[in-house]
Structure 1
Amino acid sequence: MNASAPEPGYLTGTLPGIGGHIREIPEDFRVEEIPLYAPSGQGDHLYLRVEKTGLGTLEVARILAKTFQVPQQAIGYAGLKDTRAVTVQTFSIHHGQAEQAERLCHPQIRILAISRHGNKLRPGHLAGNRFELTLRHVDRDAQDKAADILAVLQDLGVPNFFGPQRYGVLGNNDQVGLALLKRRWHQALAAIIGDAARIRHPDWRAAAEAFARGDLTECLRRLPPRMRDERSLVEALLRGQKDREALFLIPKQRLRLYLSAFQARLFDRILAMRLATIERVWAGDIAYRHDNGACFRVDDPATEQQRADRFEISATGPLFGRKMLTPTGQSALLEASLLDKFGLSYDDFRPGAGLNLEGDRRPLRVPLDKVEMEAGPGQLRLCFTLPRGSYATSLLREVMKSPLVGVTC
């Protein structure tokens, strides 16, 4: 069974969207990390608060490693931020010195603050993100429409769908992950090289067509130089290595991203099934406490629903893995039936080779905070705050109800 799914419905489906376009220029999409803690001012790690424009987090990390003359592993960050945006985030540099920051002369990076702390910044070390977005070519009554939609989302919560960036530029990272779990090595390789029908870049598309017909020499010739991982696996196949051997030449970090994308796709499926009752908790649910992130099983749904109504807790969906808390009752049946559709069991999420999935629970909804709007001619400026791990796309698709072309944050 293919992991891809039809576009889910809307929580605010009875309310019309405002239409429009997002991110015509990077300045239309501004994201600022909300730190989980303030740096202490002392320690082995230099903390740089930077504003970057048109650069991805990993690209900035490479620039910092070169500037400070440290291995890239010495660079820490709390979350991945998108390229086509203006983003403010903090990086840590192990053994970095403040005077070295003067060497950083890049037109797309501006240092806002410098401090020190005792530990490296790691993924998840943030409280949330503040978004400032400009939607253009919106309907004339966009502000009134958006106000009605946002009132519902503030009351019921924002559906906690994963953003498109989780699934990659071709939208098929989850298919690679599924193939890895099913040990379908050639299928995984083909998905990594890509489906030619989805590829716009002419050389990449030609390489994908060549791979599909088994012409590895032509595939390698046409693959763009920047696609180093893809080129390495094709070179391995040309040397006569088996599909699995070639596949595992790809860095494990990237293979884990494919597996996490499949986890995300399964979560999104469960969320789509429960969207109409997103604010409800069921007997046997694993609930999530929004104040501290703790999870617990719902034994008394009537009592716990009162807490859900106050937005203290929410039902969760699965990020399947060996340590995931499993629900009981109706929720358990729903999750088990989804695994059955893919011919998977819980044990399949232990593929070995250093790729075992720990698993977790993720809230089906998240609170929407600090909403501001400002209307202009043909546009709407929208500001809001979401918790860490949540995507602005989940809110935008409800407000706009139009294709979110180019939005990956």
Structure 2
Amino acid sequence: MLNPYLTPDLHGIGGRIKVRNDDFCVQEIPLYVPSGQGEHVYVSIEKTGISTFQAVRRIAGALGIDPRAVGYAGLKDARAVTVQTISIEGVDPSQVEALDLAGIRVLSVDRHTNKLKMGHLRGNRFTIRVRDVPKDAVPVATQILDILARRGVPNYFGEQRFGIRGDTHLLGRELVRQDAEAFVRRFVGMPHPAEAPQARRARQWVEEGNLASSLDAWPRGMEDERRVVRVLLDHPGEWTRAVRSIPNKMLKFFVSAYQSALFNQLLAQRIASIDRLQKGDLAWIHGRGAVFVVQDAEQEQPRADRLEISPSGPLYGYKLTMAQDAPGEAEREMLEEEGLTLEDFRLRGLKFKGARRPLRFPLREVKIEYDEGLLLSFSLPPGCYATTVLNEVIKPSEHAAEE
């Protein structure tokens, strides 16, 4: 699911990322400092080679608590070394300090009054090594990054948003369309080569109608899939019941991925001019998260040139404010092509109000050096993907074509 580049005229440097976990390091930039008081224990952890979801499950299991008692400000890659803060309600700090879990190291423990929630961070600092590139890749990468720093980085949702199978958005689409059967058939069927052999086997059993064999074949960590198969065994053909056996948090993730995919498509349509305002745009005010209707694009453009404001795109939902004029027409056309209305995002137990998202984001604190490959460091706002920056520098589609 490669998106068009902002710098298509500049060849990428190629190379490999994430050869080792420590080739991709992420450190959260916190929004606030814990107060030292309160019922929520704030834990700074360093995790290696596991996802945020996996870390939360391991920590909750070790403490004997519900994973829902654990809060976090953002989801971090599995194939990386990441430092992030989580909050845990109603536990003794000494219990947390004593944790000894694979892939997780407790760095510090404090207290605060509220649970951490998604978005409760100022941004993320990345240090990424691109291996198998020559030293003369440095000036090429510098030229690309200079353009990104000046024009802004395309605010695509990264490919990790769409899962190892690349289909979380398709699952979300079926939920929004309320096609429970299509959702379930994709959720537990359709083997994918990127998955582990055991998972592919379990899916193949489903495809062949052998649900009993599938039930015992699912690997650890795929309890939701196993639960759905159990429901189908006990209640054949009750697709909606099977969907409702999946935790709401996971279903929300799928619908969110669908919103993300539609946003990416609209961004791709405007990629060549993401730094240019149009009449009718809902301009995003960086630093405030507010939007306003652009009445005079020429008058507002100097603010866009300074990266104070940017065009925005839709994360569709039933209360979304659409852009006007030509930008709004493009947003309405996409929804019509999907055969949906905004009201379709008002689902049972899954109400998606919708939001605006800037089409680009600022790139800050950029550093480049050569150390066992190209070593890049930069800071991004929350919710923005480092892979978008890397894709512009590496141009993976160019090198895939060469191979």
Pick the TM interval, shorter chain: over 0.9
- Taking the aligned partners of 1:124 and 1:164, their CA distance within structure 2 comes to 19
Match of 1:271 in 2: 267
Match of 1:214 in 2: 209
State the number of aligned residues. Answer: 398
Amino acid at match of 2:303: R
Which residue of 386, 391, 401 maps to 1:397?
Answer: 391
The unaligned stretches of length 5 or more in structure 1 are 1-5
Instruction: Determine if the alignment matches structure 1 residue 346 to structure 2 residue 356.
Output: no
Amino acid at match of 2:341: S
Which shows bigger deviation, 220-229 or 84-93?
220-229
Match of 2:218 in 1: 223
Which shows bigger deviation, 43-52 or 93-102?
93-102
SS at match of 1:264: helix
- Taking the aligned partners of 2:96 and 2:350, their CA distance within structure 1 comes to 36
Which residue of 287, 291, 296 maps to 2:287?
Answer: 291
Deviations along 1:123-147, one digit per CA (max 9) or x if unpaired, are 1100100000011001441101100
Q: How far has the Cα of 1:286 moved from its partner?
A: 0.9
CA RMSD between the two structures: 1.9
Match of 1:238 in 2: 233
CA contact (8 A) 1:298 1:304 kept: yes
SS at match of 1:120: coil
Which residue of 311, 325, 349 maps to 2:307?
Answer: 311
CA contact (8 A) 1:67 1:100 kept: no
Q: How far has the Cα of 1:207 moved from its partner?
A: 2.6
- Taking the aligned partners of 1:392 and 1:107, their CA distance within structure 2 comes to 26
Match of 1:108 in 2: 103
CA contact (8 A) 2:319 2:342 kept: no
Match of 1:260 in 2: 256
SS at match of 1:50: strand
- Taking the aligned partners of 1:195 and 1:158, their CA distance within structure 2 comes to 35
Q: How far has the Cα of 1:348 moved from its partner?
A: 1.4
Match of 2:146 in 1: 151
Percent identity of paired positions between Structure 1 and Structure 2? 43
Q: How far has the Cα of 1:390 moved from its partner?
A: 0.3
The unaligned stretches of length 5 or more in structure 2 are none
- Taking the aligned partners of 1:41 and 1:169, their CA distance within structure 2 comes to 39
Match of 2:54 in 1: 59
Distance change >3 Å, CA 227–CA 145, structure 1 → 2:
same
SS at match of 2:33: coil
SS at match of 1:21: coil
Instruction: Determine if the alignment matches structure 1 residue 380 to structure 2 residue 387.
Output: no
Which shows bigger deviation, 238-247 or 328-337?
238-247
Amino acid at match of 1:299: Q
Q: How far has the Cα of 1:160 moved from its partner?
A: 0.5
CA contact (8 A) 1:22 1:404 kept: no
Distance change >3 Å, CA 97–CA 223, structure 1 → 2:
closer
- Taking the aligned partners of 1:38 and 1:50, their CA distance within structure 2 comes to 15
Distance change >3 Å, CA 114–CA 15, structure 1 → 2:
same
Which residue of 27, 31, 37 maps to 1:32?
Answer: 27
CA contact (8 A) 1:19 1:139 kept: no
- Taking the aligned partners of 1:208 and 1:109, their CA distance within structure 2 comes to 31
SS at match of 2:57: helix
Q: How far has the Cα of 1:404 moved from its partner?
A: 11
- Taking the aligned partners of 1:70 and 1:197, their CA distance within structure 2 comes to 34
Which residue of 155, 160, 168 maps to 1:160?
Answer: 155
